[in-house]
A and B are shown apart, each in its own frame.
Chain A
Amino acid sequence: MDDVELASGRAPVIEPGYTFGSVTDKISSIVLTRPTSNGWFVGFGLAFLITMMLLFALGYLFLKGIGIWGNNIPVGWAFDITNFVWWIGIGHAGTLISAILLLLRQSWRNSINRFAEAMTLFAVACAGLFPLVHTGRPWLAYWLVPYPNTMQYWPQFRSPLVWDVFAVSTYFTISLMFWFVGLIPDLATLRDRSENRWAQMIYGMLAMGWRGSARHWHRYETMYLLLAGLATPLVLSVHTVVSFDFAIGIVPGWHTTIFPPYFVAGAIYSGFAMVLMLAIPIRKLYGLEDFITDRHLQNSAKVMLATGWIVAYGYGIEAFMGWYSGNRYDSFLLWNRLHGPYAFFYWMLLFCNIGIPQVLWIRKLRTSTVGLFLISLVILVGMWLERFVIIVISLHRDFLTSSWGMYYPTRWDWMTFLGTIGMFLAAMFLFVRILPMISIFEMRTLLPEAEVKPE
Chain B
Amino acid sequence: MKTTRIYGIMAEFDSASDLVAAARKTHEAGYRKIDAYSPFPVEELAEAIGFHTNRVARVTLIGGIAGGLTGYLMQYWMNAVNYPVVIGGKPPHSWPAFIPITFEMTILFGGISAVLGMLALNGLPMPYHPVFNVPRFAMATKDRFFLIVFSTDPQYSPTSTRQFLESLGPRSISEVLS
In the complex, chain A residues whose CB is within 8 Å of the CB of B158: none
Does B4 have its Cβ within 8 Å of any Cβ on chain A? Answer: no
Chain B nearest Cβ from A78, distance in angstroms: 25
Chain B nearest Cβ from A174, distance in angstroms: 5
Question: Interface majority SS on B: helix, strand, loop or mixed?
Answer: helix
A19 to B128 CA separation, bound complex (whole angstroms)? 29
Give the interface size bracket for B toward A: 35 or more
Contact B143 A20 (CB under 8 A): yes
A422 to B137 CA separation, bound complex (whole angstroms)? 42
In the complex, chain B residues whose CB is within 8 Å of the CB of A188: 141
- State which residues 181-223 of A face B: CB under 8 Å: 181, 185, 188-189, 191-193, 204-205, 208-223
In the complex, chain B residues whose CB is within 8 Å of the CB of A153: 83
Chain B nearest Cβ from A346, distance in angstroms: 30
Q: Which of A226-234, A306-314, A363-371, A425-433 contacts B (4 or more CB under 8 A)?
A: A226-234
Does B165 have its Cβ within 8 Å of any Cβ on chain A? Answer: no
Given contacts A20-B142, A174-B108, A193-B142, contact A215 B35 (CB under 8 A): yes
Given contacts A173-B112, A192-B141, A449-B16, contact A442 B90 (CB under 8 A): no
Contact B111 A452 (CB under 8 A): no
Does B94 have its Cβ within 8 Å of any Cβ on chain A? Answer: yes
Given contacts A24-B143, A185-B141, contact A211 B79 (CB under 8 A): no
Question: Interface majority SS on A: helix, strand, loop or mixed?
Answer: helix
A177 to B42 CA separation, bound complex (whole angstroms)? 23
In the complex, chain B residues whose CB is within 8 Å of the CB of A208: 119, 124-127
Interface centre among B87, B111, B125 (most CB of A within 10 A): B111
Contact A212 B56 (CB under 8 A): no
Contact B101 A163 (CB under 8 A): yes
In the complex, chain B residues whose CB is within 8 Å of the CB of A212: 37-39, 140-141
Chain A nearest Cβ from B97, distance in angstroms: 4
Of all chain A residues, the one with the shortest Cβ separation from B77 is A154
In the complex, chain B residues whose CB is within 8 Å of the CB of A226: 56-57, 60, 110, 114
- State which residues 307-329 of A face B: CB under 8 Å: none
Given contacts A154-B79, A174-B108, A215-B122, contact A452 B20 (CB under 8 A): yes
Residue ranges of A at the interface with B (Cβ–Cβ < 8 Å) = 19-21, 24, 146, 152-160, 162-163, 166-167, 170, 173-174, 177-178, 181, 185, 188-189, 191-193, 204-205, 208-223, 226-227, 230-231, 233-234, 237, 241, 244, 441-442, 444-445, 449-453, 455
Residue ranges of B at the interface with A (Cβ–Cβ < 8 Å) = 15-17, 20-21, 23, 35-46, 48-49, 51, 54, 56-57, 60, 64, 74-75, 78-79, 82-83, 85, 87-88, 90, 94, 97-98, 100-101, 103-105, 107-108, 110-112, 114-115, 117-119, 121-122, 124-129, 131-132, 137-143
